[in-house]
């Protein structure tokens, strides 16, 4: 399987426990504020996936703010403003602190409270907690996935972005932060959480009834995700079938999605990425680690790398999909470091599934639509049992009857 020289990221949401891939830093002749801005402009000019720049005359922005950029803060402000003009939510500016958070997430160790935040598609002013890290500070304080974050340290968080919320939640290990959350029942809860270092586990594996193994893959962002998945396959090697749970998984590193898909596929394409100048298709090596029947669980928060893995397994007839339609993010980003420690995310390509489907803003449809979360697991087990039974069913040869004439 081909490995990209530049690490690509397909993260959907900003999280306090996950981030994006890192492209090696480049050398720069100068790091004056104007040069920092112009470097960001050139990176977009050379790498943005859409040749028309979404209808923006990109040349207009090369020197648009020169007279206003006097400091590093000015450069950062106008880089963010310039990127916003592209009308691409995934091409964005990262200040040095946010960039460091992403590096920490890739290293699978961060200081924080252990939550993932996402803006609601139906109501962008609503900040939803889509995941909590198992045994993390937030989970131990009673915060749950599905809660709405409405306050941070006594101030409203309604209407702010996930990045802005993250900036307010960040802090030193051992220091407290007070959150106000609203449950789906409209119950309001105030909790005080102490920040600490968290070791991020991307994978959890367990054996269910009927000798079915279940692998919960929470994120693709950690450098350890593929290694952990490989370990889960070894742990569940005696299971008759596998459930891969991608519910609530917002994505992460493209390289992890490719490597995990390759562990499961006997042949076929995994994904095709289409940049401004080229198309690249990753093909399975044909050396799978298991041939166990697979069912994949997904929901509306399964995005990017999750959708790539689910589509690769589905389109190659390797797995059935159970749950609800996925998020629909068919774009790939790279993160490029700027002088001074800041960075920019740039959408560099779109991707197609092995069946040549563009799922951006569309999502991946399950083979069996099941809304209830508990029922999704039961449905996956039922479908696997049928598949396992068919594989174990003996094949009887039919004999031709002789007819005497």
pTM more than 0.85: no
Catalytic-labelled residue, pool 306, 315, 326, 349: 315
Q: pLDDT (tens digit, 9 = 90+) per residue, 34-81?
A: 999 999 999 999 999 999 999 999 999 999 999 999 999 999 999 999
Catalytic-labelled residue, pool 8, 20, 304, 326: 304
Active site residue 304: yes
Instruction: Give all domains of the chain, ordered by start, each with its CATH number.
Output: 112-199 (2.30.42.10), 203-333+347-388 (3.90.226.10)
User: Which of 261, 281, 263 has the alpha carbon at shortest distance from 271?
Assistant: 281
Catalytic-labelled residue, pool 116, 262, 329, 387: 329
Active site residue 224: no
Residue 52, exposed/middle/buried by CB under 10 A (0-12, 13-18, 19+)?
exposed
Helix axes 162-169, 96-106, angle to 10 degrees: 90
Report d(CA 184, CA 349) in Å as an integer: 37
3-state secondary structure of 364: coil
Q: In this predicted structure, what is the pLDDT of residue 131?
A: 82
Report d(CA 359, CA 353) in Å as an integer: 8
Report d(CA 221, CA 223) in Å as an integer: 7
In a 13 Å sphere around the CA of 192, the CA atoms on its Cβ side amount to 3
In 113-211, the DSSP E strands lie at: 115-119, 127-132, 148-152, 155-156, 176-182, 188-194, 196-199, 203-207
For each of the chain's 405 residues, which pLDDT tens digit applies? 332 222 344 433 333 322 232 333 333 445 799 999 999 999 999 999 999 999 999 999 999 999 999 999 999 999 999 999 999 999 999 999 888 878 877 876 778 899 988 887 677 778 999 888 888 999 999 999 889 999 999 999 999 988 889 889 988 999 999 999 999 899 999 999 999 988 878 999 999 988 999 999 999 988 899 999 999 999 999 999 999 999 999 999 999 999 999 999 999 999 999 999 999 999 999 999 999 999 999 999 999 999 999 999 999 999 999 999 999 999 999 999 999 999 999 999 999 999 999 999 999 999 999 999 999 999 999 999 999 998 876 655 443 333 333
Active site residue 329: yes
Report d(CA 309, CA 247) in Å as an integer: 12
Tell me what percent of the chain is helix, strand and coil, each rounded to the nearest 5.
Answer: 30, 25, 45
């Amino acid at each position: 399987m081909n490995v990209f020289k530049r690490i690509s990221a397909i993260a959907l949401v900003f999280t306090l426990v996950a981030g994006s891939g890192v492209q090696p830093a480049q050398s720069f002749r100068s790091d004056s504020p104007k040069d920092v801005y112009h470097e960001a402009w050139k990176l977009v000019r050379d790498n943005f996936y859409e040749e028309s720049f979404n209808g923006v005359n990109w040349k207009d922005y090369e020197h648009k703010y020169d007279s206003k950029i006097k400091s590093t803060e000015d450069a950062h402000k106008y880089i963010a403003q310039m990127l916003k003009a592209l009308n691409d939510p995934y091409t964005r500016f990262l200040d040095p602190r946010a960039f460091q958070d992403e590096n920490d997430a890739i290293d699978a160790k961060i200081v924080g409270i252990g939550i993932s935040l996402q803006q609601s598609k139906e109501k962008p002013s609503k900040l939803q907690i889509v995941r909590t890290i198992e045994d993390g500070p937030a989970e131990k304080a009673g915060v749950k996935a599905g809660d709405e974050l409405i306050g941070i340290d006594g101030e409203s968080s309604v209407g702010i972005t996930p990045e802005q919320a993250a900036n307010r939640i960040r802090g030193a290990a051992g220091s407290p932060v007070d959150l106000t959350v609203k449950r789906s029942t409209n119950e309001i809860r105030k909790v005080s959480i102490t920040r600490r270092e968290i070791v991020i586990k991307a994978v959890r594996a367990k054996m269910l009834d009927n000798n079915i193994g279940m692998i919960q893959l929470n994120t693709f962002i950690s450098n350890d995700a593929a290694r952990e998945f490989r370990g889960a396959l070894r742990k569940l090697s005696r299971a008759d079938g596998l459930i891969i749970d991608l519910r609530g998984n917002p994505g992460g590193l493209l390289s992890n999605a490719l490597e995990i898909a390759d562990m499961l596929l006997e042949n076929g394409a995994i994904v095709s990425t289409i940049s401004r100048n080229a198309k690249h298709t990753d093909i399975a090596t044909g050396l799978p680690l298991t041939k166990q029947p697979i069912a994949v669980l997904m929901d509306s928060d399964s995005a990017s790398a999750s959708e790539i893995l689910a589509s690769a397994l589905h389109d190659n007839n390797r797995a059935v999909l159970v749950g609800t339609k996925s998020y629909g993010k068919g774009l790939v980003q790279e993160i490029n470091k700027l002088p001074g420690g800041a960075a920019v995310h740039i959408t560099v390509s779109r991707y197609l599934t092995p069946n040549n489907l563009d799922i951006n803003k569309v999502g991946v449809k399950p083979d069996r639509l099941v809304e209830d979360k508990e029922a999704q697991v039961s449905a996956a087990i039922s479908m696997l049992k049928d598949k396992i039974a068919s594989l174990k069913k003996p094949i009887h040869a039919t004999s031709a009857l002789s007819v005497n004439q």
